A = this chain, B = another copy of it.
């Protein structure tokens, strides 16, 4: 039986810690690192990140927008970055936040999770505005290949609350509905005593987060570090899913670049706050 993405993550975390480090080559950071704002600067930025993260980080999250900005040349850099990180033993979640329906959603699923795709990643982030059910093609491909999907549920930006906190007739928030639907997809794996493939994105700075108990899937938690979320917040929000909670840190680490040694120290210090759990 195919190993699940959830189990792959738990394995990685047991030796590397529960940390997701972002690669966010936005314009101001390219400049701060003394790099040109073009595809060659993007390539050098990415090369430095790979060098700094590949041997020690459990989960690396390239932010697709910053590659897409440079069109096909940016995507060529992203392909190289994803491929090298995976060859060197990192799990890669491509932060694409894609969402569509039917054969179009299947196209995105193939782009990011098919083993033969040039952008093939261990996991991808997706957005459920078209309904959780519209994402079925990416869930299907994830189950087939033991890849992961992180569905946006309760995000850490303040503008999100007006939409994500709205409730259905039973008073269940949209964020909680997303978590519950992901949990339902992971339930067959729970019966096999293993973590499933379908994760969620839940901000570490939320005052009223959705209940995550029973998710049995990974939780990507942005908002740690520069945005104010702490290790204690992560523990409180994740509850009995803490072993599957991966805080995402990007700016606090990248601010230490471009020196590879300094980046490694920042990763190591941050990862120490989020140790993995031993694997039996």
Q: How far is the CA of A162 from the CA of B118 in the complex (A)?
A: 35
* Candidates B65, B73, B108; contact of A118 at CB < 8 Å: B73
> Is there contact, CB below 8 Å, between B104 and A63?
yes
In the complex, the chain B residue whose C-beta lies closest to that of A131 is B159
For A, the interface residue count at a CB cutoff of 8 angstroms equals 56
> Is there contact, CB below 8 Å, between B131 and A65?
no
Contacts of A228 in B (CB 8 A): none
Closest Cβ–Cβ distance, residue A167 to chain B (whole Å)? 7
* Chain A 80-116 residues near chain B, CB threshold 8 A: 97-108, 110-111
Selected interface stretch from A11-19, A122-130, A182-190, A269-277: A122-130
> Is there contact, CB below 8 Å, between A68 and B163?
no
* Candidates B69, B118, B131, B163; contact of A131 at CB < 8 Å: B163
Closest Cβ–Cβ distance, residue A181 to chain B (whole Å)? 10
Give the dominant DSSP class at A's interface: helix
Contacts of A129 in B (CB 8 A): 99, 127-129, 152, 160, 163-164
Residue A71 is within 8 A (CB to CB) of chain B in the complex: yes
> Is there contact, CB below 8 Å, between B157 and A101?
yes
Residue A66 is within 8 A (CB to CB) of chain B in the complex: yes
Q: How far is the CA of A214 from the CA of B130 in the complex (A)?
A: 24
Residue A132 is within 8 A (CB to CB) of chain B in the complex: yes
Closest Cβ–Cβ distance, residue A71 to chain B (whole Å)? 3
Q: How far is the CA of A106 from the CA of B29 in the complex (A)?
A: 14
Contacts of A103 in B (CB 8 A): 24, 26-28
Contacts of A133 in B (CB 8 A): 159, 162
> Is there contact, CB below 8 Å, between B107 and A68?
yes
